[in-house]
Structure 1
Amino acid sequence: LALLFGGRASAELIRAGADRARVAAVFEVAPDAALRSVLEQAGLELDGDELLVEREILSGGKSRAFVLNRPATAALLRQLAPHLGDIHGQHDQQRLFLAEAQREMLDAFAAHGGLLEEVAALYERWRSVVDQLAELERAERERLRLADLWGFQRREIETAAPALGEDAALEADRRVLRNIVSLQEHAAAAYDSLYEAPNSALAQIRQGWRRLEEISRIDVSLEPLRDSLRSAEVALQEAAHELRGYLGRLEADPARLEQIEARLALLERLKRKYGPTLEQVLAFLSKVRADLEALESAEERRGRLERQREELERAYQAASGRLSESRHAAARRLERQIEAELEELAMGRSRFRIELEAAEWTAHGADRVAFLISTNPGEPPRPLEKVASGGELSRIALALKTCLARADRAAAAGRTLVFDEVDSGVGGSAAETVGRRLKQLAAADQVLCVTHLPQIAAFADHHYYVAKREEGGRSVASIEELSAEARVRELGRMLSGRRLTEEALRHAEQLLRLARG
């Protein structure tokens, strides 16, 4: 059942030698709008009053779920579980000692409407703003520590005012000024070769053109070649003109060279400090400017966040205050109902109290919930774990489960309530009262009870016997519904142990008559 209610699946549940385990159940469900809503949201439609739920565990540890023969998720099974049933075992009794579990039970009984969700949402928003303020203060402290450094870095870069690609252009100018003499000599020699020398390239082309001019009058096919030389002459003249201009511009300038060297040294220092390239230096400047602007705007942002925090604090205090009021009112009702249930369970002199104290803000409100009980007259109520014996704890757990089942607005009557070892620590007349209370619960819900006490088993409408035996070297579990005669014998065995006596059989018959009465 726990698997069908979305519990954790484990490959350890698979029988040795098998490749999978499978469990299935058919639930007869009453008309329940909430249940049908859950199914509709999952794209499932309930036709009739039977709901088939299946779970399969594969050898790798993965599991598959099916609802109405359609694939489903374990999350959907957990959503359906409150509408189908509830399981109460010894582990749940231990949870009674936990403050968190006690708060959850009080809230389940109270049915606060949307208050819990409202408080949780307000808390998350408030926590987010508080965290943002803390981060802002941390970042601001760090920025204040670095503000002087950032200011110096910004001034240093802004004073230098580097331009993208400036270093490459300056390095080109420096190469020219460093090699001015060599450039002048080679450029002058090139100019002579092109234009000035008696046998310059231009003179040779002109001489070739004249000869072609003469012979092209005889052979006109040479005219294109003659024209090509004319074009070459023009190109050489233009090249010589540009070269002469270049020579005119070439001039040694030690002051300019010194200026370039100083500028490049400055840019090199910037690149060593802030990035290997000027592009990265400028990117660093942009970041420093942004950090300084953020420091200047931090006060404004802090003010905005503090206003939000104050508004959310007022809203949370109002909502958590309403939640506390609802819890206090529910606590008084639950106290009365629990004491009434305990009286039915032979603990009529007990006093059950629910103590609520102011606590730190949480997503669940600002209350600390504690269940207290006094099982002896004259003794003040104290925490469950300090007072209740095992048998008393079992009956307190049953009383709580009964009250919660009655108050559960989400679940329709007809759920399956499973009590596993609810009789732990219980015996004698107390066991009879537990059995009688379970019988009353079964008037509205289906109650499955795993018990070793005949006083409880006698109250059941149906008695099943579970046995484990060995077959072929393997353990085999079986379950069978007992007939009236077999039931008497089983109750007698539970009373007398291995040896069934006539006295035990008479006592078993007496228990059954008492339960029916």
Structure 2
Amino acid sequence: MLTQLSIKNFALIEQLEMNFSNQFSIITGETGAGKSILLGALGLILGKRADLTSLKDKEQKCIVEAHFQVDKYNLKDFFAQNDLDYEDLTIIRREILPSGKSRAFVNDSPVNLSELEALGSYLIDIHSQHQTRELTEEDYQIQILDAIANHQNILNNYQQTLSKFKSEKNTLKKLLAEKEALAKEADYNSFLLEELLAANLKEDEQAELEIEFEKLNNVELIKENLDKSLVIANEDQIGVLQNLKEIKVSLQKIAALSPDFQNLSDRISSVIIEFDDIISELEAQTDKLINDPERLELVNQKLQTIYNLQKKHNVATVTDLLQIQKDLDAKVVLADDLDSQIQNSEILLKELDLVLEELAGIISVNRKNAIPILVNKMTEIVTQLGMPNARFEFDMKSAENYLHSGKDQIQMLFSANKGTDFGLLKKVASGGEMSRIMLAIKAVLAEYSKLPTIIFDEIDTGVSGEIAHKMGDIMKKMSEKMQVFAITHLPQIASKGQQHYKVFKFDQGENTISELKLLSKEERVVEIAEMLSGKDISESAITHAKALLN
């Protein structure tokens, strides 16, 4: 429930702080005094958008803060899901800065407006005349029946199962689409895979084949130059090796004369050893040279196969081709695995379908049982509210598909007068009738569910006399189980409140300021007398006001 509200620098309100009880509270005041401003400030707490026009002083920030006792609202899960600190006394603060930036906090943790709006829906229900349209909406009518049926656990189970069912349907849809796509590509993929497998590719073989191809393709040129190199190296008189040996002999003769000469002698010896090894390798390479046209053709064919495959698949290496081969092979395996996955998904869907059908059936039976209870209670209440011939009926059909809250499609039907046919509530009920029906609905719901704080904003428009008395009695009875506020112009309703606040405005210098005041017993007499007779309060009005209050 709302325990405290403070408003600073909002519209006509300069500074306001009020405490509230859990009783039936009345708010009265002249038209234009600021009742709508009060609701606007609460709207900010509930996540409504704001702009700079909300600021009374454009140089100062606007702050609206509300304290709520929430220990009976079962909101711990909500706080946990939104990563907020839970407190039995929860404080919501909204700030609008002169720059136009808006900030919101729940127990000092910053929140966005969507989170604030979600939390606000659990805390306050502001009901005005134009909001009676929600009564004509099918979802709201279903929620009313569900509250009376008291089967929230079954509903939760159904909705969790429905979520799994929808998720599994999406999974199956994707699997079938994947299978269809694979089927379309299956022949081509098989051809590509067979082509790659036939090539018998191996890592790093392309470089080896290219080297072998160059050797085989240039065998004569290679032999000619190897032979020439051997001749130059080994010729008896002027060969490189013979010359190196003569240099070695010359250096050995002077090696003992200086370390430098000894070093040169050692180095030439090393060169001769290395050069001798080179000659041996030249001879070996010459011996290995074979003119093999058949092998050359085979190597050339294998390279052309590799080059063609690389071009076809738009890759540059054999490694890339082997990865493509692996992927194609996986697709063939996947096609087989998909059939198994599809079969398992279809089995699970059938199981979930059976559970949903059973739960939807239980929900439907519970709602059917709740209908006569709701109809009887509503009829009783609206009869008190001046609608003695009002009748209600529910048209309940079963949908082909699973809906969010079952398979029921429900329409509330209404007849206001004897001899008239039932019609859809939104088409046959007048504005005044809708307001009274909504009050009846709220009164019934107060018996069956933990409603948040409710604020009735001039729900009594268009009624007077005894009907107004009855409306006041109904709202007062509702306040036994919840916190109720009524903004009213009717003295009959105002007199039912256990707390009475007056909204008024006054001029202060060049400014007009709105205030909210908790009235004393004596002030309530005057306020209600003024509601009865106007500014010129008569003795009879005072007497009548006292009678109403007593």
TM-score by length of 2: 0.81
- Whether 2:420 is the aligned partner of 1:379: answer yes
Q: Tell me, in whole angstroms, the C-alpha distance in 2 between the residues paired with 1:459 and 1:430.
A: 13
Q: Identify unmatched segments of 5+ residues in structure 1.
A: none
Letter in 2 for 1:105: I
Letter in 1 for 2:470: T
**What's the counterpart of residue 392 of structure 2?**
352
Of 253-262 and 363-372, the range deviating more from structure 2: 253-262
Of 95-104 and 55-64, the range deviating more from structure 2: 55-64
TM superposition shift of 1:468: 4.3
Partner of 1:125, secondary structure, is helix
Partner of 2:136, secondary structure, is coil
- Whether 2:136 is the aligned partner of 1:102: answer no
1:422 to 453, 459, 480: 459
Q: Tell me, in whole angstroms, the C-alpha distance in 2 between the residues paired with 1:472 and 1:190.
A: 116
- Whether 2:439 is the aligned partner of 1:398: answer yes
Q: Tell me, in whole angstroms, the C-alpha distance in 1 between the residues paired with 2:235 and 2:543.
A: 142
By relative contact order (CA 8 Å, sep 6+), the higher-ranking structure is: 2
Do the aligned partners of 2:45 and 2:64 also contact (CA within 8 Å) in 1? Answer: no
Deviations 1:463-514 (A, max 9, x none): 43323456565553223345666656655655567x7585xx746743652x
- Whether 2:342 is the aligned partner of 1:302: answer yes
**What's the counterpart of residue 160 of structure 1?**
199
Matches of residues 10-409 of structure 1 in structure 2 within 5 Å?
A: 10-12=50-52, 13-15=54-56, 17-26=58-67, 32=72, 34=74, 46=88, 51=89, 53-59=91-97, 60-67=100-107, 70-71=108-109, 73=111, 75=115, 82=122, 85-196=124-235, 198-216=237-255, 222-277=261-316, 278-359=318-399, 360-408=401-449
TM superposition shift of 1:395: 0.5
Partner of 1:435, secondary structure, is helix
CA gap of 1:148–1:428, structure 2 versus 1, over 3 A, is same
1:449 to 477, 486, 510: 486
CA gap of 1:197–1:393, structure 2 versus 1, over 3 A, is farther
CA gap of 1:6–1:196, structure 2 versus 1, over 3 A, is farther
Q: Tell me, in whole angstroms, the C-alpha distance in 1 between the residues paired with 2:185 and 2:121.
A: 57
TM superposition shift of 1:419: 0.6
Do the aligned partners of 2:84 and 2:109 also contact (CA within 8 Å) in 1? Answer: no
CA gap of 1:36–1:238, structure 2 versus 1, over 3 A, is closer
CA gap of 1:14–1:290, structure 2 versus 1, over 3 A, is farther
Query: C-alpha root-mean-square deviation of aligned residues, in Å?
Result: 3.3
Deviations 1:414-470 (A, max 9, x none): x74311121234345433432332233345544311123344334334443323456
TM-score by length of 1: 0.85
Q: Tell me, in whole angstroms, the C-alpha distance in 1 between the residues paired with 2:78 and 2:300.
A: 79
Do the aligned partners of 1:392 and 1:426 also contact (CA within 8 Å) in 2? Answer: no
User: How many pairs does the alignment contain?
Assistant: 501
Q: Tell me, in whole angstroms, the C-alpha distance in 1 between the residues paired with 2:332 and 2:362.
A: 45
Do the aligned partners of 1:187 and 1:243 also contact (CA within 8 Å) in 2? Answer: yes
Letter in 2 for 1:154: L
- Percent identity, aligned pairs only? 26
Letter in 2 for 1:268: Y
TM superposition shift of 1:393: 0.4
Do the aligned partners of 1:454 and 1:491 also contact (CA within 8 Å) in 2? Answer: yes
TM superposition shift of 1:264: 1.8
CA gap of 1:507–1:373, structure 2 versus 1, over 3 A, is farther
TM superposition shift of 1:303: 1.1
Do the aligned partners of 1:353 and 1:372 also contact (CA within 8 Å) in 2? Answer: yes
Partner of 2:186, secondary structure, is helix
TM superposition shift of 1:357: 1.7
CA gap of 1:28–1:121, structure 2 versus 1, over 3 A, is closer
Of 189-198 and 363-372, the range deviating more from structure 2: 189-198
CA gap of 1:42–1:228, structure 2 versus 1, over 3 A, is closer
CA gap of 1:16–1:96, structure 2 versus 1, over 3 A, is farther
Q: Tell me, in whole angstroms, the C-alpha distance in 1 between the residues paired with 2:359 and 2:327.
A: 44
Do the aligned partners of 1:126 and 1:312 also contact (CA within 8 Å) in 2? Answer: yes
Letter in 1 for 2:544: Q
Q: Tell me, in whole angstroms, the C-alpha distance in 2 between the residues paired with 1:506 and 1:484.
A: 18
